[in-house]
Amino acid sequence: MTYSHTDAFYIDRAWVSPLGSNVIDVIDPATEAPFAQLAMGSQSDVDRAVAAAKAAFPAWSQTSREERLAVISRILDVYKRRFEEFAQAISTEMGAPISFSRDEQAAVGVSHLEAVIDALKDFTFEETLENGDLLVRGPIGVCGLITPWNWPVNQIVLKVIPALAAGCTMVLKPSELTPISAILYAEVLHEAGVPAGVFNLVHGEGPVVGAALSRHPDVAMMSFTGSTRGGVAVTHDSADLVKRVALELGGKSANLIFADADVDAMVTAGVQMCMGNTGQSCDAPTRMLVERSVYDQAVDVAIKACNAITVGAPDQEGDHIGPLTSQMQFDKVQAMIQMALDEGARLIAGGLGRPEGFDTGYYVRPTVFADIHNDMRIAREEVFGPVLVMIPFDTEEDAIRIANDTPYGLSSYLSSGDPDRIRRVALRLEAGNVNVNGGYIAAGSPFGGYKQSGIGREGGELGLEEFLEAKAISVY
């Protein structure tokens, strides 16, 4: 399949030629072969896109709630009609199995957008305080949006749509590894009638285009999703201008399983959630903490659950995992598995190398390590691949201590048959989300982390607030 507009940027409601000549290959992770060439942007391209966004801001910022709702509703309609194109593109560019791409990767483009519509309908932009003053919330200005490769549409929607809803204009820099879904989304916004300059798209590398956005004096806010290292770079680049920075970063999420839980079901679910999306999710439950009295049982279940996970090609229908997204990610995961072995971790499933039958493509073996100590590097560093570590604990206090003993705090998972314990432990976990007994937070709930997992929240009302400034007006 050929894709259009890979040689252009979307600026001021037109596809325009880059001001430079740099291009890169876009690689199919299943074949390791290029399937498209992508134009890469420069400082000059960013300047042109930001100028368009700045010019569009006065008019778009003054549109009514109803006008914005109408535009966003049209975006939803166009996206639904082109849904299969997104599913196929994500499957090709990041290696997501086509069933997973439809059911999860492309599907969140609908659920998150609907949640923003719900939040916008009920959002209070103006209110009178008890002291009589008027509190007004208005759009912050031009926003720079940087999105990752692992959930490409998910993150585009969670930034672009709230920014639109708030009355902001924007420049999007998607990951150069997964640019096709971003190009398709620009086409959707164009067809839905988003006015000129309100949304702009420039491809490029983080140290070039991302840094240019972060340092640009006319960009009021940066919203970044990616690695903690990348988030630090965006923050540094934005600091001199004291611009707002919203970050959704890495994680090493704990999955606490108590003896009074349905151990077999929750361990199986925990393994599957860790391995889903080939482990390339920032909130994946990669540290499984199990009460010692049922730990041996949990290890046996984890072995069976991991060995039951199949690896398959992205175009193959069914419930399996695909390749990692890039050679760099493949090399990193292999190095992390080797590091765990060198640390003395007990390998109980998977291991180094590709799965049997896969000589080409960035495929890896679903892997589980047992008898891990939380001070091992494999328990502290984000792998971003299908690698799970299992850690025993003795008491509730012990579980909470181990869970919170991490530089991250994006998400957590908790299984117990005792509602009082669930509430007690959930309130003490230092994480932005707590998913209970196999459940997962719904679209519209805020998503984001404590500590080095980020600043701010995405989704629903809090996600909308990220793009707003508050103004107090005295009694008049």
Q: 70 and 112, same structural domain?
A: yes
Same domain, 237 and 341: no
Dihedral sign of CA atoms 142, 148, 152, 157 in order: negative
pLDDT at 302: 98
Residues 141, 86 share a domain: yes
In a domain, 1, yes or no: no
Q: How many domains does the chain have?
A: 2
Q: Are residues 367 and 385 in the same domain?
A: yes
Annotated active-site residue 466? The verdict is: no
Mean per-residue pLDDT for 385-413?
98
Tell me, yes or no, whether 216 and 266 share the same domain: no
The model's pLDDT over 13-27, given as tens digits with 9 standing for 90+, comes to 999 999 999 999 999
Q: Is 19 helix (H, G, I), strand (E, B) or coil?
A: coil
Question: pLDDT digit string (tens) for 303-335?
Answer: 999 999 999 999 999 999 999 999 999 999 999
Of 213, 225, 233, 231, nearest to 53 by C-alpha is 213
Q: Does the pLDDT of residue 28 top 90, yes or no?
A: yes
Q: How confident is the model at residue 370 (pLDDT cuts 50, 70, 90)?
A: very high
> Which band of pLDDT confidence, cut at 50, 70 and 90, is reported for residue 476?
confident
Whether 2 is in a domain gets the answer no
Catalytic residue among 176, 248, 291, 466: 248
Q: What is the pLDDT of residue 475?
A: 85
pLDDT digits (tens, 9 = 90+) for 101-144: 999 999 999 999 999 999 999 999 999 999 999 999 999 999 99
Are 383 and 424 contained in the same domain?
Answer: yes
Residues 449, 451, 452, 454, CA torsion sign: positive
Residue 2's pLDDT is what? 79
pLDDT at residue 176, as a whole number: 97
Each residue's pLDDT tens digit, 435-458: 999 999 999 999 999 999 999 999
Judge whether residue 294 has pLDDT over 90: yes
Distances from the Cα of 390 to the Cα of 274, 288, 379, 408, angstroms: 12, 5, 9, 18
DSSP run (H or E) holding 454: strand 454-455
Which tens digits make up the pLDDT trace of 236-273?
999 999 999 999 999 999 999 999 999 999 999 999 99
In a domain, 3, yes or no: no
**17, part of any domain:** yes
Cα–Cα distance measured from residue 155 to residue 249, given in angstroms and rounded to the nearest whole number: 12
Q: Are strands 468-473 and 134-139 parallel, antiparallel or unpaired?
A: antiparallel
Does residue 204 lie within any of the structural domains?
A: yes
User: Residue 295 pLDDT more than 80?
Assistant: yes
> In the structure, what pLDDT confidence band is assigned to residue 79 with cuts at 50, 70 and 90?
very high
CA separation for the pair 156, 154 (Å, rounded): 6
Q: What is the mean pLDDT of the chain?
A: 97
Q: Does the structure show a pLDDT above 90 at 222?
A: yes
Same domain, 272 and 397: yes
The DSSP line for 90-133 is HHHHH---HHHIIIIIITHHHHHHHHHHHHHHH--SEEE-TTS-
Residues 167 and 287 in one domain: no
Average pLDDT over every residue of 46-67 = 98
**Per-state percent for the chain, helix, strand, coil, to nearest 5:** 45, 20, 35
Positive/negative CA dihedral, 222, 228, 230, 232: positive
pTM: 0.97
The pLDDT value recorded for residue 272 is: 98
- 217 and 319 inside one domain: no
Question: Is residue 227 in a domain?
Answer: yes
**Percent of the chain with pLDDT strictly greater than 90:** 99
What pLDDT digit, counting tens, does each position of 164-175 carry? 999 999 999 999
Does residue 474 register a pLDDT over 90? yes
**426 and 290 together in one domain:** yes
- For 213, the 3-state DSSP assignment is helix
For 349, the token pair is: 């499933």
Residue 54: its H or E element: helix 43-61
Q: Which residue range forms the structural domain that includes residue 207?
A: 9-249+452-473
Contact 91, 101 (CB under 8 A): yes
Is the pLDDT at 66 greater than 90? The verdict is: yes
Q: Are residues 77 and 195 in the same domain?
A: yes
Identity of residue 297: Q
Indicate if 271 and 413 belong to the same structural domain. Answer: yes
Please report, for the domain that includes residue 210, its CATH number.
3.40.605.10
- Tens of pLDDT along 188-211? 999 999 999 999 999 999 999 999
Question: Rounded to 5 degrees, what angle do the CA atoms 49, 52, 56 make?
Answer: 140
For residue 184, CA distances in Å to 79, 106, 363 come to 9, 12, 27
